[in-house]
Structure 1
Amino acid sequence: MPLYKSISVNSQTTVKIWKIEESYDELMKPLDLRPQSLQRVLGMKSELHQRGFLSVRHLLREFGYTDPDLFYDKNGKPHLKDGKHISITHSFTFSGVIVSESPVGIDIEKQREKIGIIAHKFVDYEYNYLKETDEDYIRRLTVIWGIKESLYKLFATPGMLFREHFLVIPFMMKDGNTIAWIDYKNKKYRYNTAFLEFEGFTCAYVVP
């Protein structure tokens, strides 16, 4: 399947989402990968991961980039050679890329009940407005995880902890957006966040 969704966040920022329905061969055929990318994809044990990796290269093409335009720093954060900011995600059958003039982060997660079991590892402040008995508890937890994962990708700083350093301000599912804060080493950073749901998945992204 070609592009699943394109979102114009603002004049400088765009999100594109791919639904991965093609086979490995179909995804690989039109791509021109540099040797290290080819080595990386061939070294992946799971075809699901291979297809996720390749679908991200298709999303790059949707933005007008090629595989050599993308590189990673020592913390594993992706960058574009033209200096624009990029963040990348893939989960099962969806992948997403956000490109902006400003630092950004994106995450896609499959909505699963088991997130409730690990909630204590990434939720602290948010328990002030979350209740396990809420009908949309799992969906809201997935949004919180997605926002915090997006913040972590944006900052890419070893030592940051989801539970201690990231705060997601109260929100309702119908809102589709909220504010998030990073409180780290006596500095506070404020971010606008947005989220959407499709086919049992949640996508969240953050911009300053």
Structure 2
Amino acid sequence: MPLYKTITPNSQTTVKIWKITETYQDLMESVTLKPESLERVLGMKSNIHQRGFLSVRHLLMAFGYQDSDLFYDANGKPHLSDGKHISITHSFQFSAVVVSDGCVGIDIEKQREKIRVIAHKFIEYEFEYLNKLETNYVNKLTAIWCVKESLYKLFATPGLSFKDHCLVIPFGVDTDETVAWIDYKEKKYRYQIRFLEFEGFTCAYVVA
């Protein structure tokens, strides 16, 4: 069972990260899927996406849940049948789930040079403190993306823009947390964000 890491930010919150080393067949054999989930995974054209989807179901099992305990609302936000809050992410060979009594968001992304090309699409304020010549520039861009994606998942509000409504304050490479804001419709919301790096990936998560 390749449960890669378990993090407990507080007594009401747990993050579990899975390293996907199994084949699609191995992952499929050991889970029970409701009909709509089975239809969804069989319809995926990418083996990576299939394995990511199934690894999340294994993470649910690690929390004591089944696929039938998970459902999605009209905005695509996941929920659990017992009322606890959940957020889900997967990227290439890693997936993660956070479960909490409070609202949560999580994201994992692979650190890739191509993020330089799309940075202008999700960054505005942060360019004021970023330095393109820094050796860790790609890592910082990836961290900012993960922070904003985790905020987006937590806030779950149509029309929220990474670039226009989400702000990440300056942070150092030697820290594992920062502060971020959502400035939306004349209201401001402050969040403490935690993140970590491993094997060329970045993960950020937020608990309200």
How far apart, CA to CA, are the structure 2 residues paired with 1:2 and 1:118?
A: 32
In structure 2, C-alpha distance between the alignment counterparts of 1:160 and 1:52, rounded to whole Å: 26
Indicate the residue corresponding to 1:94 in structure 2: 94
List gaps (5 residues or longer) in structure 1.
none
CA distance in 2, matches of 1:174, 1:85: 30
Match of 1:58 in 2: 58
Shift of 1:30: 1.3
Paired with 1:125 and 1:164, the residues of 2 have a C-alpha distance of: 9
Gaps spanning 5+ residues in structure 2: where? Answer: none
Aligned residue for 1:104? Answer: 104
Q: Could you tell me which amino acid in structure 1 is paired with residue 93 of structure 2?
A: T
CA distance in 1, matches of 2:63, 2:75: 24
Higher deviation after alignment, 69-78 or 120-129: 120-129
Distance 1:13 1:44 in 2: 31
What TM-score comes out, normalization by structure 2 length?
Answer: 0.98
Counterpart CA distance in 2 for 1:169 and 1:99 is 26
| Amino acid across the alignment from 1:128 | E
In the alignment, which residue of structure 2 is the partner of 1:165? Answer: 165
Q: Which residue of 1 aligns with 2:198?
A: 198
The letter of the residue matching 1:11 is S
Distance 1:127 1:32 in 2: 46
Whole-angstrom distance in 2 between the partners of 1:183 and 1:30: 43
**Corresponding letter in the other structure for 1:90:** H
Q: CA deviation at 1:135?
A: 1.6
1:117 Cα deviation from its structure 2 partner: 0.8
* Local SS of the residue matching 1:117: helix
Deviation readout 1:104-140 (Å, 9 max, x if unpaired): 1000000001101111111111112101011211100
Count of equivalent residues: 208
How much has 1:173 moved relative to structure 2?
A: 1.5
Question: What's the TM-score once normalised by structure 1's chain length?
Answer: 0.98
Which aligned pairs between 1:26-45 and structure 2 lie closer than 5 A? 26-45=26-45
Taking the aligned partners of 2:186 and 2:118, their CA distance within structure 1 comes to: 27
**1:10 maps to what in 2?**
10
Q: Name the CA distance, whole Å, in 1 between partners of 2:59 and 2:52.
A: 11
Aligned residues with identical type, % of pairs: 70
Matched, 1:129 2:129: yes
Q: Deviations over 1:50-82 (max 9, x none)?
A: 100000000000101000000000111100011
Q: Which residue identity is paired with 2:189?
A: Y
Following superposition, the deviation at residue 28 of structure 1 comes to 0.9
Q: What residue number does 2:72 align with?
A: 72
* Displacement over 6 Å in runs of 4+: none
